Structures are given as structure tokens and as C-alpha cells.
Amino acid sequence: MASKRDYYEVLEISKNASADEIKKAYRKLAVKYHPDKNPGDDEAEAKFKEAAEAYETLSNPEKKVRYDQYGHSAEGMGGFGGFSGGGMSMEDIFSHFGDIFGGGFSSGANFGGGSRTRTTVGSNLRVRIKVTLKEMYEGGLRTIKVKRQKLVEGLTTKTCPNCKGSGVEVRVVNTMFGQMQSQTTCSQCEGTGKIADNIPAGADKFGLKKVDEEITINIPAGAREGIQLSMRGKGNDAPFGGVPGDLLVVIEEEKHPDFEREGDNIHRALYISFAEAVLGTSKEVEAVVGKVKIKVDAGTQSGKILRLAGKGIPRLEGSGRGDMYVHINVWTPQELTPEQRQFFEGQLEGGQMTPQPTGKEKSFFDKVKDFFN
């Protein structure tokens, strides 16, 4: 590390080179030391990496400022991250600066000499499932049906004749820097290096066939809308059987007719009669699971909200449960018997039922505010 060259020196530019000049300088060196042009030349490869590392820092405004101020010692400060110091791999270089190399040079799939065994990877499978509030409350197992690509039995393969198993096609292309080799993914085997020898019925050229499969997933207690459960290896099988993809299950909340969920809290309405509001009562109301007893005090106003601590949904992160809120609504009778009518008419004249707020009743707006605090 002590002998590390100055990045400006590496790119052969002055300290006040513009972003454009930095890019041009790097492009020039990248072309000069490109591994395709210098097969088996370790020194060229080292220079190629050195230039990429210099460019990685100097092309990033934030890193450049730190480098200008502290030089290579800034790299120990954690500000550089990633690949500096430890050196970048060829794959890093091609994946990060693919735009510099232009058409075809970004793959970098096969650097480091010779062909190597490729591991194919299956694609992820994403499904959405509707989950009831009760299932979210209790958690539990659920078996779902998925259509996934599965590797068929009895598939035999042979080395791809087009790329000889390397998975890449090498072509000579004319660029503004002269003739260069370009590597692209083999069109015949799509980079796998293999082709099927015999394709069993119903399978595609990679030996994959769509099948219906039942998979049991575990819905955690406290699950909520939008969370994603991932099941490693339960996605699509890989071409010719490599590493299968994952199954991603996205949870959707099924609307409950009586409950409204707000985070881990649940809300429900409760209608009581005029007489119950006046005289007080106790009620048993449905919770998400089971029932809860609540006491309605005499003289309860419509709109009162009762909080039942810990009767909400279990917390997915952390412990405990949210709360349950019961919104009391006093039902005003709409049809009266002649006797009832006479009774209420008497009250109008007597004036006992005239509203007499004490000011201690929380206003509608206060209640709303309480919820969101």
C-alpha cells in the first residue's frame, strides 16, 4: 500500500482535470490495458485495475474531495468503501464502468482465464396472497398453490458446441479505438455452457417445465399488508438444475366487515340504545379473536371511545400487542310507539334532556388528535 501511486499520476492527468478529462484519460488506459488486448499479461492486468481504482475515486465527486485533501490515507477513513485498497476484481470493473467500454464490453463474464464452471440460478417467483385479520392476529401455516418451473427428470446435457462450454461468444468488433474483442453471452446456451441432449416432453430447452406445486408457508403473527415473506429455494428451478430461485410471498390484508386496522391497533364500532347510554350497561363485543367484555358508564355520550389495552394485533417486531378501540355510537330511535312519543314530548316540555356540556367532554377534534398521537 505504501507504494501506491497517486491517482492523478496513474491516469496521467493534472490535479485540476475536469470530470470529462478524467473520463477520457481512464478510457484511454482502459483500452490500452484491456485484458482482451493483453491476454495473459499480468502487468497489463495490474495497470488495468490500477486505472479503474483511480477512476473509481476521481469520478466520484465526494471521494475526489476527500482524496484531494487526504490522499490515499483517506481510504482508511471508511469514506471510500467498496473496492479501493483491496483492489477491484475484473467483474467489479466491468459492472461499474460498463458504460466506459461501450457495446459488448460490460459482461466481463469470463475474465481470469479459460472457461469455468457456471452455476445457473433460477428466477424468483412472486405471489400475492390475501390474509384475513384473524390469520394476521394468530399467525400460522397456510398451504398455497404456485406454478413454478421445475427441472424435469431424465434430462441429459452436453457441452454447448457454440461456446465450447464457456457461456460466452467472443467476437471481433471495430470500435473507435481500433479492432477489439468483445464478449457476449452465448446466444445458443444463454450463458449456461450446456445444451439439452434430449428434451423430455413438455419441458423447455433448459429442461424446465411449469408445474403446480403446493407449498406451505408460515404466516407470522402480526403480519400486515405489504410485507414479503421469502422462502429460499422455493422459486423457479435453474436451467439444467443449478441454484433454484426464491419464492416471495406478498401479504395482502383482506378487509374485515367490522374491524379497521391502524398499525397494530384495531378499531370497531359499537351501537348502544338511548336507554343504555342513559342508564349504563355492560356488553360483550367481538374482538378479532374471541370476545371482550366492556362496561358502558351511565350517561355515556355518543362518540366516546373505549380503549382496551393489549387487545389489538401482536407486534411483528418486538413484543406485546396493539390496542383495541371501541367507538360508541348511541342509536337514536327512528320509530316510536305512541307511549314513547308521549314520553319524549314530555321531556321537551320539562327540559331535562337539554344538552348541558360541562366542557370536560373531549371534543370530536380532540379525540381525533388523540388517535394520531
Compare residues 186 and 296 and give the one whose CB is closer to Zn ion.
186
Question: Residue 267's closest CA among 330, 327, 314, 329?
Answer: 327
10 near 51, Cβ under 8 Å? yes
Compare residues 59 and 181 and give the one whose CB is closer to Zn ion.
181
Compare residues 132 and 188 and give the one whose CB is closer to Zn ion.
188
Q: Taking the complex as a whole, how short is the minimal distance between the CB of residue 186 and Zn ion, in angstroms?
A: 3
Compare residues 168 and 324 and give the one whose CB is closer to Zn ion.
168
Query: In Å, how far from its chain's centre is CA 242?
Result: 24
Q: Taking the complex as a whole, how short is the minimal distance between the CB of residue 201 and Zn ion, in angstroms?
A: 24
Longest CA–CA separation in the chain, Å: 107
Q: Taking the complex as a whole, how short is the minimal distance between the CB of residue 157 and Zn ion, in angstroms?
A: 12
Cell of 1: 500500500
Q: Taking the complex as a whole, how short is the minimal distance between the CB of residue 195 and Zn ion, in angstroms?
A: 7
296 near 289, Cβ under 8 Å? no
Return all residues near 333 (Cβ < 8 A) that are at least 6 apart.
273, 274, 340
Compare residues 10 and 160 and give the one whose CB is closer to Zn ion.
160
**Which residues contact Zn ion by CB under 5 A?**
160, 162-163, 186, 188-189
Alpha helices in the chain (DSSP H): 7-10, 19-32, 42-58, 61-70, 90-96, 98-101, 133-138, 274-279, 338-350, 364-371
Q: Taking the complex as a whole, how short is the minimal distance between the CB of residue 118 and Zn ion, in angstroms?
A: 10
End-to-end CA distance of the chain: 55
Compare residues 169 and 246 and give the one whose CB is closer to Zn ion.
169
Compare residues 188 and 281 and give the one whose CB is closer to Zn ion.
188
Q: Taking the complex as a whole, how short is the minimal distance between the CB of residue 114 and Zn ion, in angstroms?
A: 15
80 near 71, Cβ under 8 Å? no
Other CB atoms closer than 10 Å to residue 62's CB: what's the count?
A: 10
Q: Taking the complex as a whole, how short is the minimal distance between the CB of residue 198 and Zn ion, in angstroms?
A: 18
Q: How far apart are CA 74 and CA 68, in angstroms?
A: 9
Question: Residue 144's closest CA among 248, 253, 238, 220?
Answer: 248
For the chain, helix, strand, coil in percent to 5 are 25, 30, 45
Compare residues 162 and 281 and give the one whose CB is closer to Zn ion.
162
Q: Taking the complex as a whole, how short is the minimal distance between the CB of residue 210 and Zn ion, in angstroms?
A: 24
